[in-house]
Amino acid sequence: MSPLVAILLLFAGLSEAAGRLLPVVARLSGVSRIRVIGLMLAGAVVDGAVFALWPLSAWTVAELLLSTAPSEEAALVWTPALAAPLLLAAVLAFPLLGPLLHVVLMVGVGSGLATALATAAGLGWWDAAGCVALAGFGLGVAVEGVRRLVVRLNRPRAPEPLT
């Protein structure tokens, strides 16, 4: 992965984290800026890692479908052109502003990955799209689990009553 792609994926992760975290923080009172910045940076790393794993996961699913293993040289990787649309995630990830637009963006990016996977692995486009969708769904479920765990761990606990 080139440094430019890594930076694009990290910024896409930051924008995704900001789009998901800032509406929640706006409803809370008394949240420190340091905690918000820490959560955003942690979210950026997690979301950036999920974005980085998407082509690798799709490639792995495609290898399960193929009777002969494709060469490792042809493996699906992010390119700047494929990763750049993910930077729009900040605007589109706001829960009340545009969840449908966010889904459309992910479908568009997934379509680009499916085209690249079909070319690299020698699959049909629909088979490649299924591999990309399955990988994206699996990664989405995993990251949503991490988000729920973080929220659960960061929930303030009520003090126990003294009796």
pTM, two decimals, is 0.77
User: What is the per-residue DSSP string for the chain?
Assistant: --HHHHHHHHHHHHHHHHHHHHHHHHH-SS--HHHHHHHHHHHHHHHHHHHHHHHHHHHHHHHHH-SSPPPGGG-----HHHHGGGGGHHHHT-TTT-HHHHHHHHHHHHHHHHHHHHHHHT--HHHHHHHHHHHHHHHHHHHHHHHHHHHHHHSPPPPPPP-
pLDDT at 129: 92
For 116-137, write each residue's pLDDT tens digit.
Answer: 888 888 888 999 999 999 999 9
The larger pLDDT score, comparing residue 8 to residue 161, is at 8
pLDDT at 138: 92
For 66-107, write each residue's pLDDT tens digit.
Answer: 776 666 666 777 888 888 777 766 555 555 556 677 777 788
